[in-house]
Amino acid sequence: MPEKTTGDKPGERIAKVMARAGIASRRAAEAMIAAGRVAVNGAVISSPALNVTRRDKVTVDGQPLPGRARTRLFRYHKPRGLVTTHSDPQGRPTIFAKLPKRLPRLISVGRLDLNSEGLLLLTNDGGLARALELPSTGWERRYRVRALGRVTQNALDGLKRGVAVAGVRYGPIEAALDREQGANVWLTVSLREGKNREVRRVLEHLGLKVNRLIRIAYGPFELGELEDATVEEVETEDLRKLLGPALAAQAGADFTGPLQGEERTRSSHNSGARQQGREPGIQKQARGSRPDSGSPLRESRNDGKIRRRRPDRSGGPRPAWPRPKS
């Protein structure tokens, strides 16, 4: 891989290099630099405004910076009641505190708020996370929504032109009225922007109060039958294909580097062989199945038993919520 440049200086910003090595997020890396914990070629630095190359020797707390790890992506079924952050000032439980301890250090691709649930993508590569979050990537986020109130399909169709709510402009949204259930309605909502609390605010603008919000897809990756609070790694080969050359290059993804951290969810080296003694809560995507299909028959050992699960042709968990009527 050729050496990158930033402006007239070769290499990459040191905080970015630290983040790619799995030390910390870029923001946390900058804080470590400001605290005097990072040295380059034996000299302690105090500013992240520095580019380094592979020839530079970087140490953190006196320890050499690990080599860059392979880019990895995980699907996680986020439960309600967890916040998407590494630490919460209010002391609320976080998704990262609940993840299996043997996983590498991960960051989320976007967020799901405290009361939202469903598919959350996690990666060890900050460059990939940023690339997948960009609206310019054009990846669709799809949700199943239960909301209190009544709405017509005609009103939902008006969202296709975009809408302004409280001075914030939201882009086109596809929304389908699936069914009415008591005082609630079930909707399928698709969007490509993913602004903060976008679904809740837009539906509130239509007179609906969201009381359940489940993300079932993010681009080509689907929640499928991934069990609640379970994380599953996407095979390296599948990840490479689903990202495509252009997006992988934009993200600066590395599919050939060494695996670091939790080794029992290896993607490309184990030929799909299920390993013994896996920590509860970790699943490995079945070899030969697409991570976005939501349909392959898969085995699960989370409860100490092996069971076969039926495919879900609707692409969503079954039967946790009503499916659209055909």
Q: Are strands 63-64 and 58-60 parallel, antiparallel or unpaired?
A: antiparallel
CB-CB contact of 254 with 54 (8 Å): no
Reported for 307-314, long-range contacts at CB under 8 A and 24+ positions apart, including other chains, are 309/225, 312/224, 312/225
How many whole angstroms separate alpha carbon 108 and alpha carbon 197?
A: 16
* Four-CA torsion 55, 61, 66, 72, nearest 10 degrees: -130
CB-CB contact of 244 with 147 (8 Å): no
Peptide bond into 258 cis (omega under 30): no
Q: Are strands 282-284 and 231-233 parallel, antiparallel or unpaired?
A: parallel
113 has catalytic annotation: yes
Backbone angles phi, psi at 87, to 5 degrees: -150, 140
- Return the closest-CA partner of residue 291 out of 73, 143, 71: 73
How many residues are present in the chain? Answer: 326
Indicate which residue of 56, 61, 88, 113 is catalytic: 113
**Ramachandran assignment for 3, one of left (phi > 0), alpha (psi -120 to 50 degrees), beta (any other):** beta
How many whole angstroms separate alpha carbon 118 and alpha carbon 108?
A: 13
What 3-state class would DSSP assign to 320? coil
Task: Name the residues annotated as catalytic.
Answer: 113
